[in-house]
Structure 1
Amino acid sequence: MGSLFENYEQQYSTLTADITAQVGLLSASASKDRRQLISNIEKHVEEAQELLEQMDLEVREVDPSKKQRCRTKLDCYRAELKRLTLEYIKARTVKQESLYDSTEDVRISIDQKQRLLDNGETLERAGRKLNEGYRVALESEEIGHQVLKNLAEQRETIQRSRNRLRETDEELSRSSRLLGNMIMRALQQKVILGIVAVCFLVFISFGIYLSFQS
């Protein structure tokens, strides 16, 4: 995916280099050559805009660790294309009466200027929307990280509570066993005392019986 983005970058660099060179030739060209240069520049500007759109689509699929760097590059490319567009408009609208053959050329120039201005504004608006979308994505990502962090803390709290309940249950089990042993010992002692008491009564009764016999 990164290699495709880099391929678009190379194509974009070639286009912008051609636009820069042709804008430099525009003001010194004759009427016929000037019209051809204008046509070429506008064609290259449109191709550059399409490349930027393709690059924007590719950035969404780039590895997260490289996405911010690609976004920064893309913003720079948009700014560069906007600058070149404004330079072209400036060179295109320079007053050189000898380069315009008729009123029709002037009308075409105004239409082309307006179209390029509209394209520049469209690029700027798209850039702002993309930046806003990227900011919202970063905020959403931060919120997601915070939610995961809170869930992890709650999980640790629940785990600690579960461990405490387990330890309490074990303590209760030991206490129950100890209490059971104490009760058994008390019952054993009562039985022994009962047997001793019975034996004592038997001996006393036997002694009384012997005393009456004698």
Structure 2
Amino acid sequence: MSSDFEAYEQDFGTLTAEITNKIGRIPKLGGEEKTQLVLNVDKQLEEVRELMEQMDLEVRELPIQSRAMYQSRLKSYKGEMDKLEKDFKRSRIAYSDEVRNELLGEDAGSSESQRAHLLDNTEKLERSSRRLDAGYQIAVETAALTTGDIFRSTSKVSEGERGVRGDRAGYAALCSAPGKARALLLPCICLAVSERCLLLL
């Protein structure tokens, strides 16, 4: 039984070597020649899948004491097969420099420059995004600190007024009209935030 598995292993090695060679050639081709080679590789990959199914059946029929070793080998082949399929997918959409230049002509160079320009813009956008995040965080922290300080100061002043003048009406009016308090605090907060943001730029 193990001899059958080893025969399948030899077939697997031969087929995967041929497929690897063809996958390396696909990006260098174009047109009908590329299409035919892609179809050929696809057919060979299907043969490898069927071969691995046979190998899996053979392993299942092996005695338990020797099954683990063959299962490990089969797992390794499955990993190799997955890699082949990924390489095949990439090769189908890839073009060598020569083929790209032939297909695109002068546009190939402009395509490369556009890609470089896009990367530069992406990096600038990421940097700006990080600055905005940092500015927003500072704004939130500053607003929280400023609001807390002003309310604490207002509280102390109000307590002083209550102690010295006994005038509770002003404090009550401030508490009952949060819109007025907000109108007083907002310019202070905006000024503090804008100053902190300018320091970042």
Taking structure 1 as the reference length, the TM-score comes to: 0.44
Larger radius of gyration: 1
Highest RCO, 1 vs 2 (Cα 8 Å, sep ≥ 6): 2
Taking structure 2 as the reference length, the TM-score comes to: 0.47
